A and B are shown apart, each in its own frame.
Chain A
Amino acid sequence: MKAGDLGELALRNLREAVLRSSLTTLGVAVGVASLVAWLSLGIGLQALATKRLSNSGLFDTVIVTQRRNLQNMRRPPQEASPASGSRVLDEDAKKEFERLPNVAEVYSQVRFPTEVRYNGTPYSTIVAGIPASAQGNGSFDGIQGSFFSSPTADEAILQLELAKDLSAQPSSLLGKDLVVRYAERQALPAQANMGDPARGDGNDANAGGFSIVPKEKRLRIVGIVETEPAAGFGGFGSGRLLIPLEVASTLRAAQINDLRDAVRATSGKPAYASLTVRAKSPSQVQGIEDAIKKMGFGTFSLLDATKSLQVFFKIFDMLLFIFGSLALAVATLGIVNTLVMAILERRREIGILKALGAADRDVKQIFFVEAGVMGLVGGIVGVLFGWVVGRAVTFGTNLYLKRQSLPATDVFAVSWWLVLLAIVLAVAVSLVAGLYPASRAAKLNPVEALRYE
């Protein structure tokens, strides 16, 4: 029989038993909806976690330090090869890192204690330099006000707790000025030529010594962030007053590790305590880390944690797939039942078709098409159901998050591949479910079938 005729006959059969066909199709739809909803939840949560963690800088960041392998200190000198020897983490090294493939940016960490004066009252806190790239960081999603207008703007973003200390109405601080008092490092005159006075982030203390001079800086408050930004472990995690990294660098403020570096014996070249190297994506961290290690520096990243996270979500998705599939498995039994019942009801009709010249395969194909159509329609309706369930859960979740004063988020992600997978799976499962009934119908003896009342 031609495909068009086959389709027409199959659809006619489904229409004639519209209630039963609809209920069976609904069963498939519920199964597919369950599958789509569970998998969407898994994918959504994975995407959410990946996005948050990726934005946090935890997984695309390599912290580079000068290699200080204490174990090596006990080894005989001949064991340390030149390639694995320690190198100074200086400006040259920073430039080398910037030239590495897949490196998004390299910056030093600037963090120092300060006293903030607002309305004449002093408050002690920590200032942290924030790179311009942190604007895309999820930490600034719910910012009141705005991010820094430029990397060199004399502007500040306050962490909410500090803002509350400064004013009972934190939002009223936006647009106001505050004064930051800090300790500026000034190289001792006799050794000034060894440091770079124009570069505050470089550790000119290494040049041989420095003096501390109190300084003040006026900054305009442009934003307030609710949660403490944590752009990178070991980064500006404890910062309550955030200023552009370039501005923080030019202040040449004495940092927490300066005293330690001042007494450490070095080559005399200005060096950084540590550098943060950001990869373009977390998957490129390993390559960058390996390259930097080969250059003779110490590195640290949370790459292994990323891998563990991926494994966790793979298992999580698999479990959700199994849970979701259970409903679909039950639905396939519904298809088998419906088609077997149809064979009983249409036994005589099958006999007539065969008497009129229908081949076994024609009969089989009619039942197959019926199963396939139920699967296809069930799959499409199921995907829509799943999507609606996803939207409803997202809506409910966001309502709850809003009440908890947390930013809205999308916990479901219905991707195109999932839609296609669900529909293809629904059709495939339905066809498999139709195998037995179709085969049974095709094998009916026409004489016996015609005798059936």
Chain B
Amino acid sequence: MVTTGNGMAVRAERVSRLYEMGTAVIRAVDDITLDVHKGEFVALLGSSGSGKSTLLNLMAGLDRPTGGAIFANGKNLSDMSSLELARYRSKTVGMVFQSFNLLPRMTLEENVELPLRLAEVDRADRGRRVAEALERVKLDKRLSHRPSEMSGGEQQRAALARALVNRPTLLFADEPTGNLDSATGETIMLLLKEVQETLGMTIVMVTHERPLAERFADRIVTMADGKLVSDGVRP
């Protein structure tokens, strides 16, 4: 059995994710093996329905594969209980979504504090960590604002702060610029790059925008029809 060893952040080993739709079987992810190294910025590129988001969800522990195994920190996610998987998502993983997924009823501060509550971080530490995370995305003056009072770019920055507040080692971003204009999208990409470089964080980003991937990612993995079609380090 191959597991994540030194230098390996997450490894997908012959991973499949099949969906049964009546009599038809849809192979969203079909027998993919992928190693992501620590500190690496990997872009999963592909057209809509290629299976890149499904693979990302499997690596983030949001979904379980129907075949193969995913290793993170030396442990097979498939063997983990529901509770262990929740802890993995809480302590090891940070997630950024295309549609930001901030809770509209909460202020910016409360949204960013939410992962700390779930991870049972002491209240005394929370304020400082929230402030640090918001300072990093330059939103430390907007603590009491609700998502509806912020622009798309600000909301995505807030989502990034929320993903970073628990100091994860893995950051999964699913089309983080998909709902943003190009200028704002670039700001987000710059932030992701900064996070990778300053914190040494491993980033796996799903995108269908090749130019962005080529500009910021260290490595571009291309998928089509659930299969890995190319895997290349950016020159």
Contact = CB atoms under 8 A, between A and B. Distances in A.
| Secondary structure type dominating chain A contacts | helix
A355 B101 contact: yes
A353 to B, nearest CB: 7
Interface in A225-275: none
Contacts of B118: 1, 353, 356-358, 362
A361 B120 CA distance: 14
A349 B118 CA distance: 14
A351 B174 CA distance: 15
A347 interface: no
A362 B55 CA distance: 26
B82 A359 contact: yes
Interface stretch (B83-91, B128-136, B148-156, B196-204): B83-91
Chain A interface size, as a band, is 20 to 34
B105 A356 contact: no
Given A16-B105, A450-B97, A360 B63 contact: no
B73 interface: no
Given A357-B89, A360-B86, A447-B63, A2 B120 contact: yes
B149 to A, nearest CB: 17
A9 interface: yes
Interface string A440-453: 00000111001000
A348 interface: yes
Nearest to B104: A349
A79 interface: no
B162 interface: yes
B62 interface: yes
Contacts of B105: 12, 16
A352 interface: yes
Contacts of A357: 86-87, 89-91, 93, 115, 118-119, 166
Nearest to A17: B105
B90 A356 contact: yes
A361 B117 CA distance: 14
B83 A361 contact: yes
B101 A450 contact: yes
B229 to A, nearest CB: 23
B117 A355 contact: no
A222 B114 CA distance: 79
A2 B166 CA distance: 16
B190 interface: no
A356 B97 contact: no
Contacts of A447: 57, 62-63
Interface string A349-388: 1011111111111100000000000000000000000000
Contact of A356 (B82, B114, B123): B114
A450 B100 CA distance: 11
Interface in B90-146: 90-91, 93, 95, 97, 101, 103, 105-106, 114-115, 117-120, 123
A165 interface: no
Interface string A290-312: 00000000000000000000000
Contacts, number: 67
Given A1-B120, A9-B117, A361-B83, A355 B63 contact: no
Nearest to A352: B101
A348 B101 contact: yes
Given A12-B105, A445-B63, A447-B63, A354 B117 contact: no
B119 A360 contact: no
Contact of A358 (B86, B91, B93): B86
A357 B106 CA distance: 17
A286 B90 CA distance: 70
A92 interface: no
A361 B86 CA distance: 10
B116 to A, nearest CB: 9
Contacts of B120: 1-2, 5
Contact of B89 (A1, A2, A349, A354): A354
Given A1-B117, A353-B118, A360 B82 contact: yes
Given A5-B117, A354-B62, A355-B62, A360 B101 contact: no
A335 B170 CA distance: 40
Contacts of B97: 355, 450
Nearest to A359: B86
A74 to B, nearest CB: 86
A95 to B, nearest CB: 76
Q: Which of B83, B91, B105 has the most CB of A within 10 A?
A: B105
B53 to A, nearest CB: 9
A378 to B, nearest CB: 23
B170 to A, nearest CB: 13
A68 B228 CA distance: 111
B165 to A, nearest CB: 10
A356 B83 contact: no
Given A2-B117, A357-B90, A357-B166, A446 B82 contact: no
A358 B114 CA distance: 10
Given A1-B118, A1-B120, A348-B101, A355 B83 contact: no
Interface of B: 57, 60, 62-63, 82-83, 86-87, 89-91, 93, 95, 97, 101, 103, 105-106, 114-115, 117-120, 123, 162, 166
22 contacts: A12-B106, A351-B101, A352-B103, A354-B62, A354-B86, A354-B89, A355-B62, A355-B101, A356-B90, A356-B162, A357-B86, A357-B87, A357-B91, A357-B119, A357-B166, A359-B86, A446-B62, A446-B63, A447-B57, A447-B62, A450-B97, A450-B101
Given A355-B97, A357-B118, A359-B86, 10 more contacts: A1-B120, A4-B123, A12-B105, A353-B118, A355-B60, A355-B89, A356-B89, A357-B90, A359-B82, A362-B118
Q: Lowest 9 A-B CB distances belong to which pairs?
A: A357-B90, A359-B86, A5-B117, A357-B118, A357-B89, A356-B115, A446-B62, A352-B101, A447-B63
